[in-house]
Structure 1
């Protein structure tokens, strides 16, 4: 039985042990899988990391418990509940709580976050979060004199320093695996990476850097519809050689081209930013819609998603704006973005038009809810938010149906553009990132790009042009930054920052 009265040092050690027991299983699975535990050096790494984690956490918890007025208890309760949620996602989806995943989490809206709710998540919160929190709240911590506290803290620091020095030969292994180790260590994974995320965000969003002015070179009526896909990976498009026919409509359309491409990142905010930028950078340069709008192009943004950089245009339309004029079952899905699209283009008073449609079609975990029932081409499908509970066949079927629906949406856009006889028109579809569907026991996306599997960064880049308007170059592997320069070229807009090598059109 746990005691109700504990000296502060004993309480800190107990909290560290419970933290270790409840929340560090994924951490040590990674360590065991990446060292040779049959060798003396491997055993030394495992034992040293375990001891260091226990002592380091006890040291920090000890300092936290020294805070006045039960502030330490409150922080520990927050840690345990948040740890429970974090470990649920790590165990269920194979994610790593690093800086990029924090960005993903903080840019998730209610509709998306609520789709992750399950009884399993509730059990994690109750058993690993709330029950320990009740004990933390009730226990009486016996404090000691500050001199004894200082001696305890100093000796603990000295012990950790000695342990680190003894393991100097293993620093290279720790450095090599630091991203994954740091993303699995509770609660420091989300605490440290949240601070890093906001630090980077503050630096990048401090002020948008304006690009040099552009010039429209002709009066030819031209329109580009840029479709930003969500979590679409190229290997599940039959256009790219996938055995299942997920592109029954696009495969029959003339003047349609597809290119191998990679994303800049594996999460939405960075992926969308990269699609809209002229170059891949941590700085916040003026993005494509803002740049063209400022230079007298009619720009319309329609979205059922989120996570884009600040958009400074007049016509920003989300689902709520589009729904009143939408009819049919498609209004509950991404078809709502096509509502009155052709009419809005024709109503434009400018010769150059850019439409950006930011979809959410293939976002997990509830793939089967992302398309109308008539598009459930492949069966059976996974209906659970706990993807590991579904068979690989069910999971991939549900995901493939989202690609079939994407195929339909893109074909409808092309059909609308074909009817605009007075316009030279193009449709460009690029995904923000890819998606893992159980390969290597990973699900969804968000693994750091430096170690991400190809499923999370190999994306479709599909282009259609109206008859005779443009031919494409024999491009090899494209990046998301090709979008910016290709749109400038198609609309015949001259700019000092235009890069011909990043343009896909002849």
Structure 2
């Protein structure tokens, strides 16, 4: 078949690709840059005009070494395809591709990944990824110079790019420096260097770095329980993408906590901050003895979580997961990831409503006289397909957004959909409490609920979660936590419920508190407990 595309020199094709990446692929970062300038009281016109010029020169400098004939087309076809998807994520959801986000992508399950597919993504990917890649594939490229001359042209092109960048820097260094200092994610928004660099960091860290030796924590852990006292049955519920701002307990005007607010003995914590903005960080962090300020994910994955410690002390532990796995914290205790058969009740073949976690759970609560800790990991409010997190009879706030391309829904629809997920989670918590109450004759029962991170719903242009913590909005870091403690549990533990409720309303807490509080709540004593981080300690009336 005859090729009607004109022949083009590798040199000019490199410049065209650099221009395409500047104006089309990197349109989100250019728009972000100009939004920043628009918010300033004054800026230099020359500085504003120089931004795409500098970006073009920088991309040409990076791309030129990749233009040797054997690799030219394969490399840039891949970059065009991947960058198209990345540009969509950045432009629509304000996603930043740091190492943490690459980890989130790598650990995403298939059912979660498919929730991001919609007509908007397909259309964008087709027109900005597939079509340019096909065009490049079919374009005849001319290499009509000697090898040395082509090498010289490449070196000269890179030197000219550097000179151009240097010239702009000489004129506007202070302007670039000021914007960069106040907007530290800008360098992580430039495609494709952002995901290439962060991807290399992730691969190097995961596969090329020698793992830390495994460290046991709380080796002196022992179960200390009064003679004749009933054992404890604790349900530990880890939420997903729940943000505190949308909880009725926090003054939200909508009845998102309509179920638990009718449940006696609830304790809601108004001021709780997360350790991270993504599950891959927050869950290992909240289960470890490290604080957020010094948290190291490598060490967390190679040391005991509090599940290991309570199990070592003699507590029966079981973990059931309806999300994307436990991120290593349950690896050494009995655990199961919920199956998702199309049962017509809770599951559709790809995902399940969280009420499915309570199915077939009684077999794990045998009457053997042991303290028991049951971990339940919710899918909660995981987006962007929020509408798939609650059944039709929980479409309380309408109109809701019955699609995953949330950018095509109104803000009202988006908030309605998210609030429905919060309300359904609240319902599920009451079902967990109802399950616990079934065992009150044999156990002192309780429940702790804590979400892993929050969610952005379009505030300041941010959507979803995973923004670097240093610049993350409070919607992603302010999370709900609540306790339900049965009267028998409160009495056995020597606690004052009114004291806990008063402390929860006024004190600042974080996920740093969970490790120490759960150990104490399960009557496990160890030197690993920091009493200052134990929420229960100040409200004990009988020691």
Equivalent residue number for residue 314 of structure 2:
296
User: Which residue, out of 227, 232, 251, partners 1:241?
Assistant: 251
Unaligned runs of 5+ in 2: none
Equivalent residue number for residue 157 of structure 1:
162
Deviation at 1:230, TM superposition (A): 0.7
Equivalent residue number for residue 490 of structure 1:
521
Q: Distance in 2 between matches of 1:17 and 1:362?
A: 40
Q: Distance in 1 between matches of 2:104 and 2:179?
A: 26
Is it true that 1:217 corresponds to 2:219 in the alignment? Answer: no
Q: Distance in 1 between matches of 2:40 and 2:482?
A: 49
Equivalent runs, 1:395-414 vs 2, <5 Å? 395-414=414-433
CA contact (8 A) 1:257 1:464 kept: yes
Give the TM-score taking structure 1 as reference length.
0.92
Query: Which range is displaced more, 258-267 or 86-95?
Result: 86-95
Is it true that 1:184 corresponds to 2:194 in the alignment? Answer: no
Q: Distance in 2 between matches of 1:205 and 1:464?
A: 39
Query: Which range is displaced more, 398-407 or 30-39?
Result: 30-39
Deviation at 1:184, TM superposition (A): 2.0
Equivalent residue number for residue 405 of structure 2:
386
Equivalent residue number for residue 21 of structure 1:
23
CA contact (8 A) 2:64 2:154 kept: no
Distance verdict in 2 for CA 1:336–1:289, change over 3 Å = same
CA contact (8 A) 2:390 2:424 kept: yes
Is it true that 1:122 corresponds to 2:122 in the alignment? Answer: yes
CA contact (8 A) 1:98 1:182 kept: no
Equivalent residue number for residue 168 of structure 1:
173
Cα deviation 1:186-221 (Å, max 9, x = unaligned): 111211122233445466954443213111122651
CA contact (8 A) 1:261 1:478 kept: yes
User: Which residue, out of 390, 395, 406, partners 1:371?
Assistant: 390
Matched residue SS, 1:429: strand
Give the TM-score taking structure 2 as reference length.
0.86
Equivalent residue number for residue 266 of structure 1:
277
Q: Distance in 2 between matches of 1:305 and 1:497?
A: 29
Q: Distance in 2 between matches of 1:200 and 1:495?
A: 32
Q: Which runs of 4+ in 1 moved over 6 A?
A: 37-40
Matched residue SS, 2:141: strand
Q: Distance in 2 between matches of 1:86 and 1:412?
A: 40
CA contact (8 A) 1:92 1:386 kept: no
Equivalent runs, 1:2-401 vs 2, <5 Å? 4-35=6-37, 41-66=43-68, 68-69=69-70, 71-143=71-143, 144=145, 145=149, 146-177=151-182, 179-201=184-206, 206-213=212-219, 214-218=221-225, 220=229, 221-259=231-269, 260-279=271-290, 280=292, 281-282=295-296, 283-284=299-300, 285-310=303-328, 311-320=330-339, 329-330=345-346, 332-347=352-367, 349=368, 351-401=370-420
User: Which residue, out of 453, 469, 475, partners 1:449?
Assistant: 469
Distance verdict in 2 for CA 1:456–1:423, change over 3 Å = same
Deviation at 1:468, TM superposition (A): 4.2
Matched residue SS, 1:35: helix
Distance verdict in 2 for CA 1:209–1:149, change over 3 Å = same
Deviation at 1:485, TM superposition (A): 0.7
Cα deviation 1:385-437 (Å, max 9, x = unaligned): 12122122221111111112111111111112122222222211111111112
Q: How many residues align?
A: 500
Deviation at 1:8, TM superposition (A): 2.5
CA contact (8 A) 2:57 2:162 kept: no
Deviation at 1:3, TM superposition (A): 6.3
